[in-house]
Amino acid sequence: DTAVSQTPKYLVTQMGNDKSIKCEQNLGHDTMYWYKQDSKKFLKIMFSYNNKELIINETVPNRFSPKSPDKAHLNLHINSLELGDSAVYFCASSQLGPNSPLHFGNGTRLTVT
Amino acid sequence: DQQVKQNSPSLSVQEGRISILNCDYTNSMFDYFLWYKKYPAEGPTFLISISSIKDKNEDGRFTVFLNKSAKHLSLHIVPSQPGDSAVYFCAATGEGFGNEKLTFGTGTRLTIIP
């Protein structure tokens, strides 16, 4: 009974393509996030979203866009993929509140060729 | 600008002994700290946290120590067990800022030797 699930687990695609990664949480959490772990193992936040507010890390290119059809889902759309987008992308969720721990999905390894 | 640093990429410890993982931070606005544990092909899972009003927090075999003056925290695992073999991430944020400002270190891979 997976709490935060994301699909696909692996994604291999060519430069210039558009792709999406899906994320769902069944924890009843108010806030969802997307994180990127790059080749140097830095885990950095890309977006956080609750039903009221989208907070975007200013370093994220606008080719990346989160879309939330409802409170339990936050999908990540990426347009015009570039080689540098290759990374592991983690979805996460938490309760609303400053110190609520994150619950992560198992990650999507994106490889752009 | 790496505000949270885990200077040891890896650590090997004999089963039953104490594992000590270290973390340093540079941002004096950080006042809430967490440790996450990550197994291969899985996402990180929350382990333990500490607020700057404390210098120690304990949960079973896991204890986190915070030295605010040195901007240093450490995670102690005792006794270490084979299932503790994983990558451990230190993370920090300013209280009230929450997860939007959570900054992670690059992790320390802990290997417990049976």
The answer to whether the CB atoms of A102 and B102 lie below 8 A apart is yes
pLDDT of res. A83: 96
Backbone angles phi, psi at B12, to 5 degrees: -120, 135
What is the rounded end-to-end Cα distance, in angstroms, of chain A? Answer: 34
Shortest Cα distance, chain A CAs vs residue B18, angstroms: 25
Closest CB from B36, B89, B97 relative to A98 = B97
Name residues of chain A where pLDDT drops below 70. 1-2, 98
Cβ-based contacts of B89 with chain A (< 8 Å): 43
Shortest Cα distance, chain B CAs vs residue A107, angstroms: 6
pLDDT of res. A87: 96
The residues, any chain, with a CB within 8 Å of residue A86's CB and separated by 6 or more, are A39, A110, A111, A112
CA-CA distance, A7 to A25, in Å (whole number)? 12
Q: Is B1 exposed, middle or buried (0-12, 13-18, 19+ CB in 10 A)?
A: exposed
pLDDT of res. A53: 80
How many CB pairs below 8 Å do chains A and B form together?
A: 58
Name residues of chain B where pLDDT drops below 70. 95-96
